[in-house]
Structure 1
Amino acid sequence: MESDDDSNHFVPHVVHIEEGGTVTWVLESGAHDTVSYHPDNADLLPSTSERRMPEETRPWRSKLYRTRGETFERTFEETGIYDYTCAVVEHGHGPDRGHGPYGHHRTHEATGMVGRVIVGWPELDSDAQPALQSPADGLPDAAKRELEEFNERTRAELEHPDEH
């Protein structure tokens, strides 16, 4: 999780792991969290109410990290595609976790700070994998652009694994 100049991002943006693999998010700079797109997270940031992970899987939300080197880990047992974002809002007094609508405060999600975890070799069926659906209109434009690009990259990776 990084911040530089006017951008915030997860590095790498997309990871592909085996079932049972663990992803570790490490704060490199700025103040960030990781929040899955799932209706249970709508209280934190309304745009996260769109489910962008498999139906039977549990959502996650980390705490807000402010100290370089802090980590958050999650083990992914179920095959599927999981999208997430950073729910931090930049207020005049500094970063805080998102609560409520965007208003005049800019979220890190609005800068395109989204990421994807691909677990195993899921079907490329958008009914089975909600993350492969086009992002909802309620998402910030930068986040929608990134998620659409992730869809293209994911399809290419999973359809032709030997070429990547």
Structure 2
Amino acid sequence: MTDETSRRTVLGIASGAIGIGLAGCLTESDQPESNSDQDEDTDDQSDEESDHNNSHEEDSGSHGSHGEELDSPSAEAEVSMTTTDSGDHFEPHVVWIEKGGSVTWTNESGSHSATAYHSDNDEPQLVPDEAAAWDSGVLSEAEATFDHVFETEGVYHYYCVPHESAGMIGSVVVGQPDLGAQPALEEPPSEKSEAIRGKLADLNEAVRGALDGQNDDDGQEGEDGSDNEDSHDDDGHDH
């Protein structure tokens, strides 16, 4: 073998080794990048699942709460009666209608009633004086409905006969009632169980909080209006 041939053979072997080495380096450098991308995808998926779970938890937390916002009375309201994994519910728990307005209860699932706390229903009075009693009877058929018109201004508490002890209790606010003269907002009846008394206390708090807020807003507007009038009077007097 000549010196030239030997030199070419050595160069060929060296070039092959370098090529293999580079290929190995590229393969090794590519692999972590691929894993990194996969890890990022996994992290993104975990973040999406976490956001979804958090959103679901927030929805579950607000669902069935007694802090419904009562912006203003409406001519009519609708309430669903449901049985879910978390229990039996009126949804929403509190509605606010105008005097002479109506409420429609719809049985979405399970068997429920909408029954007033009234002496005519052999219950303590948790409705306004002179208010008429109502009782839908137990509705078991899906989409069955019951309507009631409320002619007397005030706060009305009502319950589901099969599920009162489980806390299925709701409230209807009619008109602009004087909160200090509502039997429903007094201390819950002592003859009721602790669970029912607690539910009624929660409803009382929700109703008072919502309507007190409305009264505060009305009072503030009145005060502003009065101040403006006084200011105009003063201006006129000065001139």
**Aligned residue identity for 1:145:** G
Alignment of 1:102-121 (within 5 A): 108-121=163-176
Which is greater in Rg? 2
Once the two structures are superposed, residues 63-90 of structure 1 have per-residue CA deviations (whole angstroms, 9 ceiling, x without a partner) of 21111100000011111000000112xx
Q: Give the match's secondary structure for 1:67.
A: coil
Alpha-carbon distance in 1 for matches of 2:130, 2:174: 14
Q: CA RMSD in A?
A: 1.5
Alpha-carbon distance in 2 for matches of 1:11, 1:61: 18
**Which residue of structure 1 aligns with residue 104 of structure 2?**
24
**Aligned residue identity for 1:5:** D
**Which residue of structure 1 aligns with residue 62 of structure 2?**
none
Aligned counterpart for 1:72 among listed residues 146, 164, 172: 146
Alpha-carbon distance in 2 for matches of 1:129, 1:146: 17
Aligned counterpart for 1:132 among listed residues 172, 179, 185: 185
Q: How many equivalent pairs are there?
A: 136
Alpha-carbon distance in 1 for matches of 2:86, 2:211: 33
**Residues 36 and 59 of structure 1 are in contact (CA less than 8 Å); yes or no, is this contact kept in structure 2?**
yes
Aligned counterpart for 1:53 among listed residues 111, 124, 127: 127
Runs of 4+ residues deviating >3 angstroms = none
Q: Give the match's secondary structure for 1:83.
A: strand
**Aligned residue identity for 2:169:** V
Alpha-carbon distance in 2 for matches of 1:7, 1:76: 28
Alignment of 1:32-43 (within 5 A): 32-42=112-122
Alpha-carbon distance in 1 for matches of 2:164, 2:108: 17
Once the two structures are superposed, residues 6-56 of structure 1 have per-residue CA deviations (whole angstroms, 9 ceiling, x without a partner) of 6111100000111111100000110011110011111xxxxxx21000111
Once the two structures are superposed, residues 74-128 of structure 1 have per-residue CA deviations (whole angstroms, 9 ceiling, x without a partner) of 011111000000112xxxxxxxxxxxxxxxxxxx101100000000110111xx2
Alpha-carbon distance in 2 for matches of 1:63, 1:110: 17
**Aligned residue identity for 2:186:** Q
Higher helix share: 2
**Residues 53 and 82 of structure 1 are in contact (CA less than 8 Å); yes or no, is this contact kept in structure 2?**
yes
Alpha-carbon distance in 2 for matches of 1:112, 1:54: 22
Q: Give the match's secondary structure for 2:190.
A: coil
> Normalising by the residue count of structure 2, what TM-score does the alignment of the two structures yield?
0.55
> Which consecutive residues of structure 2, in runs of 5 or more, have no partner in the other structure?
1-80, 218-239
Higher relative contact order (CA 8 A, sep 6+): 1
**Which residue of structure 2 aligns with residue 145 of structure 1?**
198
Q: What is the aligned-residue identity percentage?
A: 43
